[in-house]
């Protein structure tokens, strides 16, 4: 007989959370894993499995930070146990399945240029920038995921943006 405790996650809530966070988590995990999409999918799947087992009342108010924190821990564990073979990130795409060809070429060039600039940032700057821009986490949530203070998150984000601005000005 299934457990119908009040702290269990309703199926529709889990489904909504997967719809909202799966792609940002995949992008985050894939980047941490050097573009290994298969490993990223495994990490994200494990993250959602852990969510299903977690007491809803304990994490509902901070579910975004919890998801990214668990995913980050899972990726770190995966990196410790096995060195993944990087896949060319440009070959992994979540783009519109039927975009205009000229738009694709222009978008791909800009994306590649920005990716190269972001790759020049420190690993910490890259992580906080992705959590803010791709995942949409707040400074407080980023602090919870990374173990930094909120003011350190702000500092690293400010430095990342300043460095990107300088790179754009020089190109």
Residue 92 scores a pLDDT above 80: no
Q: How confident is the model at residue 103 (pLDDT cuts 50, 70, 90)?
A: low
Residue 8 scores a pLDDT above 90: no
Tell whether 141 and 71 lie within a shared domain: no
User: For 7-14, what is the mean pLDDT?
Assistant: 89
Render pLDDT for 142-164 as a digit per residue (tens, 0 to 9): 999 999 999 999 999 889 888 88
Length of the chain: 171
For residue 164, what pLDDT is reported? 84
Q: Show the domain range for 23.
A: 1-84
Name the domain count of the chain: 2
Angle between helices 37-53 and 11-32 (to 10 degrees): 150
User: For 104-128, what is the mean pLDDT?
Assistant: 81
Q: What is the percent of the chain where pLDDT is above 70?
A: 81
**Residue 6 sits in a domain of what CATH number?**
1.10.1740
Q: Which residues of 67-87 are buried (b: 16+ CB within 10 A; e: fewer)?
A: bbbbbbebbeebeeeeebeeb
Render pLDDT for 60-90 as a digit per residue (tens, 0 to 9): 999 999 999 999 999 999 888 765 445 454 4
Cα separation, 106 vs 169, in Å, equals 19
**Three-class DSSP labels, 101-145:** HHHHHHHHHHHHHHHHHHHCCCHHHHHHHHHHHCCCCCHHHHHHH
Of the residues 55, 84, 113, the one at which a domain ends: 84
Tell whether 72 and 121 lie within a shared domain: no
> Which is it for the CA torsion 67, 69, 74, 75, positive or negative?
positive
Least confident segment among 8-12, 105-109, 115-119, 142-146: 105-109
């Amino acid at each position: 007989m299934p457990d119908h405790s009040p702290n269990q996650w309703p199926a529709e809530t889990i489904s909504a959370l997967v719809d909202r966070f799966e792609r940002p988590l995949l992008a985050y995990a894939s980047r941490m894993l050097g573009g290994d999409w298969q490993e990223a999918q495994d990490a994200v799947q494990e993250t959602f499995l852990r969510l299903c087992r977690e007491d809803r009342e304990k994490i509902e108010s901070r579910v975004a930070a919890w998801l990214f924190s668990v995913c980050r821990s899972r990726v770190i564990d995966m990196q410790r146990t096995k060195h993944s073979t990087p896949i060319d990130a440009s070959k992994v795409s979540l783009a519109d399945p039927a975009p205009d060809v000229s738009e694709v070429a222009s978008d791909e060039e800009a994306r590649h240029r920005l990716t190269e600039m972001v790759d020049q940032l420190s690993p910490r700057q890259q992580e906080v920038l992705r959590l803010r821009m791709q995942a949409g986490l707040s400074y407080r949530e980023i602090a919870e995921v990374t173990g930094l203070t909120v003011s350190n998150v702000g500092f690293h984000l400010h430095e990342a943006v300043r460095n990107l601005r300088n790179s754009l000005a020089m190109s």
